[in-house]
Amino acid sequence: MSAWCCVNGRYGPIDEATVPINDRGFLFGDSVYEVFHVHDGRLWAAERHYRRLGRSLEAIGLNADLEAIRGWVDETLRQSRLAEAMVYLHVTRGVAPRNHAFPPDLKPTVVITVRPLVAMPEAERRRGVKAITVPEVRWRRRDIKSTNLLPNVLAKQQAIRAGAYEALFVEADGTVNEGSSTNVFLVRDGALHTPAKGPQILPGITRDLLVETAREQGYAVEERTVKLSELFEADEVFLSGTTTEALGVVEVDSRRIADGQVGLVTRGLFEAYSERVRQGRD
Ligand code: PDD
């Protein structure tokens, strides 16, 4: 089987699934989501993702049955028979005639898709990727994993057009927040630095796992404000994300980072993270 999905507990091929046009997720982006990585048939970091989903739902005042959702996710994955996959889980406030205000007691719409995930080619990972910077234009609750991703979509497209992999959102004062779908780290003098958690960034699951892994390996990790100028003075820069894992950045805005190669710390952390995944230690 390949791409498979579930809409409110009904399973089937993705191409045959539909949601009503009055769904508030479609009309307003009134919805939150999660993306999981499936390794060897197992939902990686499931508890962390469900905890974050719970926080996103609570932050927008959406009551959904998390136990039912977990059951649907497991069953969709089982029916897909995929071992290396990406699970997309989307919970909307439900269906109602278009009106910004929502009626009470709507039934949430839950959409789950499972798709095969092809790992990034090793040569590409070894080469590293380029990033561009874009002005931070998003709302101030980026800690909520909302499906309102228009700025992220446009930023990523701008990166692709520029021949880059990612766009980093940077405030007018030079503060670097995160990528359009990744968190960002820098390495300087053997220590890691990454923007602190707060409303300004998504608290990435991979970010947290890499911070823990780095500390286990004896690295100091500072979670604090990071400025764009620091990226250019860094020994290494890397991105983190569910499907990105730890990916070296060798160029930002056409300026080379250090010697323009993926650094040893990034490489080592990627290996340690991959080992952690193999051990199922999430
Ligand atoms: N994106 N920052 C943003 C804005 C993101 O959208 C993501 C994830 C991350 C990394 O978080 P995590 O490590 O939990 O994947 C950071 C997902 C993968 C997506 O939208 O497809």
Tokens of 44: 């990686």
pLDDT digits (tens, 9 = 90+) for 249-279: 999 999 999 999 999 999 999 999 999 999 9
Please give the mean pLDDT across all residues of the chain.
97
pLDDT digits (tens, 9 = 90+) for 6-57: 999 999 999 999 999 999 999 999 999 999 999 999 999 999 999 999 999 9
Find out whether 200 and 177 touch, Cβ atoms under 8 Å. yes
Q: Whose CA is nearest to atom 5 of ligand 1?
A: 181
Enzyme catalytic residues:
145
Instruction: Give yes or no for residue 204 CB within 6 A of ligand 1.
Output: yes
pLDDT reported for residue 2: 74
State the helix-helix crossing angle for 264-279 and 205-216, rounded to 10 degrees. Answer: 100
Distance between CA 21 and CA 169 in Å, rounded? 32
Instruction: Give yes or no for residue 194 CB within 6 A of ligand 1.
Output: no
pLDDT digits (tens, 9 = 90+) for 182-196: 999 999 999 999 999
Instruction: Give yes or no for residue 113 CB within 6 A of ligand 1.
Output: no
Instruction: Give yes or no for residue 146 CB within 6 A of ligand 1.
Output: no
Per-residue pLDDT at 83 exceeds 80: yes
Q: Give residue 97 CA to ligand 1 midpoint distance, Å.
A: 31
- How confident is the model over 122-151, as a mean pLDDT? 98
pLDDT reported for residue 178: 98
Give me the amino acid identity at 264: L
Task: Give the pTM.
Answer: 0.97
Q: Give residue 172 CA to ligand 1 midpoint distance, Å.
A: 23
Q: Give residue 180 CA to ligand 1 midpoint distance, Å.
A: 8
Tokens of 185: 């780290």
pLDDT reported for residue 1: 59
| All residues at 6 or more sequence positions from 124 whose CB lies less than 8 Å from its CB, including other chains | none
pLDDT reported for residue 184: 99
